[in-house]
């Protein structure tokens, strides 16, 4: 387990983190420390630290930026501060040796200054502790977003942040002071060339189901109650997919276990496999890669399926589809156009009793979009934007 819960960490960030940022900023000002720095010369940058707190989706969105940085400068040493739950994401990307897991090895944060980083890229938009980590590194160039006033004095370079813009595009702005272009502008397929290959990690039962017909990986829940579509609707969807000859693999974490068990109960055991909370992330990635289609809410697994170049159908509710998806022919979005949606920003959303943005999504719309993806010929690479709406 993490040494400190996410909720507690957020409270500490908003209180102690805020005060520390203000104190450090004031101290830097009154001691005459330089508030800005010139853009670094490319030959002077040898070691880069990237700070990425948050969930799986956040880190996956960052991978094209990291790949662009490595393509432009193969000689760079890149370390990444993230949570322990994302260690396997870095392993999938071939970066497992570069992880600094702040919730598992907090002592490493206090020794950042001894590593002599040349540049820090802080991808966190709002929280204060990431800015403090950037300052503790002692790097002469510290790049962050111009969005939280309490943090601004701890950076030497500030870049704008479009609160409604696609998240990957926002991360790419952090590369500007380094003069590095975004050579990999799509999440789609960024992990398609996973090494070592994932084929050997696909369970034999899943392989047999895949040989029998189209295989749909379905994530039936979410740790966020505001992103829940509901077990009745998922059960209806599963029956519709089974009637169309599909095999079903339920995927997800511990938070989805109870719902997955209730969905699988009474359905044909030879056509539906419950892999929720029984697989490592690597094994889940292998299942996604072997699947014909992924269906689920806006989640880390949905982003993972996109990164593995698998067709996806994502149900959006309180989160912003423009910020967290780039629909194409093989990556479609289902959502309801409501005056109050989207309402989620920086992990917070308005209180809501009925969550109509999710509960109002019709099963028939999801089935229709799934059929279109299942019958489409396999395609690779980004293609024309396509969205589906549920009214």
DSSP notation for 271-301: TEEE-TTTS-HHHHHHHHHH-SEEEEESSHH
DSSP annotation string for 157-212: EEE---TTS-HHHHHHHTTGGGT---S---STTTTTT-SS-SGGGS-HHHHHHHHH
Domains of the chain in start order, with CATH, are 10-27+39-178 (3.40.50.2000), 199-389 (3.40.50.2000)
pTM listed for this prediction: 0.90
Residue 85 has pLDDT above 70, yes or no: yes
* Predicted confidence band of residue 196 (pLDDT cuts 50, 70, 90): low
- Kindly report the average pLDDT of the chain as a whole number: 89
pLDDT of residue 383: 39
Please report which helix (H) or strand (E) contains residue 257, including its range.
helix 257-264
pLDDT at 391: 42
Examine the pLDDT at 23 and tell me if it is beyond 90.
yes
Phi-psi region of 381 (alpha: psi -120 to 50; beta: other; left: phi over 0): left
Q: pLDDT tens digits, residue range 93-121?
A: 989 889 999 888 888 899 999 999 999 99
Which pLDDT does position 2 carry in this prediction?
44
The span from the CA of 163 to the CA of 169, in Å, is 11
pLDDT of 286 > 80? The answer is yes
Mean pLDDT of 68-73: 93
CA separation for the pair 194, 106 (Å, rounded): 29
Which residues does residue 219 pair with via DSSP β-bridges, in sequence order?
296
The predicted model gives 133-156 an average pLDDT of 96
**Alpha-carbon distances, residue 221 vs 161, 242, 250, 345, 390 (angstroms):** 30, 19, 10, 20, 19
pLDDT of residue 184: 86
């Amino acid at each position: 387990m993490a040494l400190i819960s996410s909720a507690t960490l957020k409270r500490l960030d908003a209180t102690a983190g805020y005060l520390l940022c203000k104190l450090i900023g004031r101290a830097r000002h009154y001691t005459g420390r330089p508030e800005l720095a010139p853009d670094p010369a490319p030959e002077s940058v040898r070691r880069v630290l990237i700070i990425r707190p948050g969930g799986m989706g956040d880190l996956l969105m960052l991978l094209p930026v990291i790949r662009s940085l490595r393509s432009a400068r193969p000689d760079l040493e890149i370390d990444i501060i993230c949570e322990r739950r994302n260690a396997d994401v870095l392993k999938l990307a071939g970066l497992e040796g570069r992880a600094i897991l702040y919730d598992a090895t907090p002592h490493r944060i206090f020794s950042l200054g001894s590593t002599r980083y040349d540049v820090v890229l802080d991808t966190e938009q709002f929280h204060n502790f990431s800015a403090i980590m950037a300052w503790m590194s002692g790097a002469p160039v510290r790049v962050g977003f111009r969005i939280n006033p309490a943090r601004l004095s701890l950076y030497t370079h500030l870049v704008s942040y479009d609160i409604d813009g696609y998240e990957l595009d926002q991360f790419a702005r952090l590369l500007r002071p380094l003069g590095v272009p975004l050579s990999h502008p799509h999440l789609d397929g960024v992990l398609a060339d996973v090494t070592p290959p994932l084929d050997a990690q696909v369970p034999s039962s899943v392989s047999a189901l895949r040989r029998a017909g189209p295989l749909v990986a379905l994530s039936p829940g979410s740790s966020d109650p505001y992103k829940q579509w509901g077990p009745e609707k998922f059960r209806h969807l599963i029956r519709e997919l089974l009637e169309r000859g599909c095999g079903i693999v339920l995927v997800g974490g511990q938070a989805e276990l109870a719902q997955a068990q209730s969905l699988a109960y009474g359905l044909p055991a030879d056509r539906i496999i419950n892999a929720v909370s029984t697989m490592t992330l690597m094994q889940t990635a292998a299942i996604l890669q072997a699947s014909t289609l992924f269906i689920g809410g806006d989640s880390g697994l949905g982003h993972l399926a996109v990164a593995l170049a698998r067709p996806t159908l994502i149900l959006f509710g309180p989160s912003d589809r423009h910020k967290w998806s780039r629909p194409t022919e093989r990556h479609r979005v289902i959502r309801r156009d409501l005056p109050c949606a989207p309402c989620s920003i920086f992990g917070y959303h308005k209180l809501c009793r009925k969550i109509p943005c999710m509960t109002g999504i019709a099963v028939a719309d999801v089935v229709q979009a799934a059929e279109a993806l299942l019958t489409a010929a396999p395609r690779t690479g980004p293609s024309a934007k396509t969205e589906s709406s549920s009214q």
